[in-house]
Amino acid sequence: MRQNPQLTRRAVASGLVTLPLAVSPQRLFAQAAGIAATAAAAREAQGLPAIAVLAARDGVVLETAAVGLRARDSGAAVTEGDRWHIGSCAKSMTATLIARLVERGRMGWDTPLAELLPQVQPIHPETARITLYEIMTMRSGLPGNPVGGLTIGQMKNGLQAIQAAAADDRARRLLVAQRMLASPPKKPPGTAFAYSNTSYLLLGAIIEAAHDDSYDRVIARELFEPLQIADFGFGAPGSAGAVDQPLGHQARSKGLPVPPQSPDSDLPSFMRPAGGINMTLAAWLRFVTDHVAGEKGGGKLLSPASYARLHSRPGANFPYGGGWGIGSSGRRLLSHFGNNTYFSAMVEAYPDTGHVFLFACNDGRDGASVKAFEKIGAELSAKYLGAPTG
């Protein structure tokens, strides 16, 4: 797990409704060769097993391509309908679930932790005052991850110990809350940005307490069902003993593929509110399009005011909104990078123009993945966005 992954290549470094996803076959045939060629070159340059990309505007696909292999040396080619683990890019989904609870009056943005999780005792007095909005915008002062460790292996061992310490994910998340909230925050809440998976685990526990149901069932019912998203799953995609979906690969050059049934194929299941969802790029586009359209009244999940809140910085010096990195380099950008150490993914969404660019690959090397995504993204930006203004 990356404690402080790159959120964006521009910003931080500085009833059932069908959303329109149609694309003209003739237009797709004419354009796909261009983006496919760029994706293939970026994949080869970085040594990635496979890469997938999708560009859309207002929910209508402009270009899409998938190149490479589901598993290195397997001979099984990826397809445009394959599922990808999107890692921390799913944090915006957890934030959306929280916003739905706020709209229903179940809690407020300024509700303190002591009221959000009253069953967690003892709680340090200073920690008890951390607000819901501070948690969501990574200003809680809480640790980046629920366990420490100098290496990825040490951290994974610590996470697996939490997984083994309780019978189900709800209990595991409450266990994390119990351990984290007994101590004071590392920094005074609201004063500094620090990327925190722990914060989004707590949001998962808050969601489960409010619904009296598991996070997995809540997100399926509250987000995916209204948007008619069916091509999703939890953890690594694919079936046991088959190469029917992309397999994640170890985070090293020419790293080996990891079978989806292996406990090493993803972070432990209790981590899902911080990022543990797989889906097709077309399914992911439905969710992102809902956000892009939301501020203008075209969203199905929230009010325009709630979308705007999630898409805004809490202050000039804070780069993170509600599950989104917030950037502006002449145009407003919502973005995120995700990595579970076996897959990488990135989203760039432009609310003012309606454009969405999605990227995914089955390689755990975040540096190599970002370079490939940036190469393809630069071409898409030049083609569809032109030069930024201001």
Q: In this predicted model, what pLDDT tens digit does every residue of 183-193 receive, in sequence order?
A: 999 999 999 99
Residue 358's identity, in one-letter code, is L
Tell me what the mean pLDDT of segment 275-291 comes to.
Answer: 98
Among 212, 201, 197, smallest CA distance to 178 is for: 201
Q: How many domains does the chain have?
A: 2
Q: What's the domain range around 123? A: 93-216
User: How far is C-alpha 43 from the chain's CA centre?
Assistant: 22
Last residue of a domain, one of 216, 233, 255: 216
Helix axes of 197-211 and 91-103: crossing angle, nearest 10 degrees = 40
Taking the model in full, what pTM does it have? 0.91
Indicate whether 4 belongs to any domain.
Answer: no
Q: In this predicted model, what pLDDT tens digit does every residue of 355-369 receive, in sequence order?
A: 999 999 999 999 999
Q: What was the pLDDT predicted at 21? A: 36
Round to whole Å and give the CA distance between 56 and 42: 20
Query: Same domain, yes or no, for 197 and 49?
Result: no
Q: What was the pLDDT predicted at 3? A: 36
Round to whole Å and give the CA distance between 340 and 279: 14
Q: What was the pLDDT predicted at 26? A: 35
Indicate whether 41 belongs to any domain.
Answer: yes
Q: In this predicted model, what pLDDT tens digit does every residue of 318-362 receive, in sequence order?
A: 999 999 999 976 789 999 999 999 999 999 999 999 999 999 999
Query: Same domain, yes or no, for 54 and 41?
Result: yes
Q: What was the pLDDT predicted at 389? A: 56
Q: What was the pLDDT predicted at 328? A: 72
Query: Same domain, yes or no, for 79 and 113?
Result: no
279 by DSSP, 3-state: which? strand
Query: Same domain, yes or no, for 254 and 276?
Result: yes
Which phi and psi angles does 312 have, rounded to 5°? -120, 150
Tell me what the mean pLDDT of segment 279-285 comes to.
Answer: 98
Last residue of a domain, one of 169, 190, 216: 216
Q: In this predicted model, what pLDDT tens digit does every residue of 250-269 receive, in sequence order?
A: 999 999 999 998 988 999 99
Whose tokens are 């598991």? That residue is 214
Q: What was the pLDDT predicted at 388? A: 64
Query: Same domain, yes or no, for 376 and 270?
Result: yes
Tell me what the mean pLDDT of segment 112-128 comes to.
Answer: 96
Q: Which residues pair with 129 in a beta bridge?
A: none
Tell me what the mean pLDDT of segment 278-287 comes to.
Answer: 98
Residue 134's identity, in one-letter code, is E
Radius of gyration of the chain (CA): 20
Q: In this predicted model, what pLDDT tens digit does every residue of 218-245 receive, in sequence order?
A: 999 999 999 999 999 999 999 999 999 9
Indicate whether 209 belongs to any domain.
Answer: yes
Q: What was the pLDDT predicted at 34? A: 83
Q: pLDDT confidence of 33, banded at 50, 70, 90?
A: low
Round to whole Å and give the CA distance between 287 and 89: 11
Among 86, 200, 94, smallest CA distance to 143 is for: 200
Q: pLDDT confidence of 309, banded at 50, 70, 90?
A: very high
Query: What is the side-by-side order of every strand in the sheet holding 83-85?
Result: 83-85, 277-280, 232-234
CATH number at residue 37: 3.40.710.10
335 by DSSP, 3-state: which? strand
Q: What was the pLDDT predicted at 11? A: 34
Query: Same domain, yes or no, for 244 and 170?
Result: no
Round to whole Å and give the CA distance between 205 and 168: 12
Query: Same domain, yes or no, for 202 and 139?
Result: yes
Does the structure show a pLDDT above 90 at 32?
no
Query: Same domain, yes or no, for 197 and 230?
Result: no
185: number of CA atoms within 13 Å, CB side? 26
Q: How many CB atoms lie within 10 A of CB 30?
A: 11
The mean pLDDT value of the chain amounts to 90
Q: What was the pLDDT predicted at 101? A: 98
Indicate whether 334 belongs to any domain.
Answer: yes
Does the structure show a pLDDT above 60 at 16?
no
Does the structure show a pLDDT above 50 at 64?
yes
| Cβ 47 vs Cβ 368: under 8 Å | yes
Does the structure show a pLDDT above 80 at 29?
no
Round to whole Å and give the CA distance between 326 and 14: 10
Query: Same domain, yes or no, for 204 and 223?
Result: no
Last residue of a domain, one of 216, 231, 255: 216
Q: In this predicted model, what pLDDT tens digit does every residue of 136-162 receive, in sequence order?
A: 999 999 999 999 876 778 888 899 999
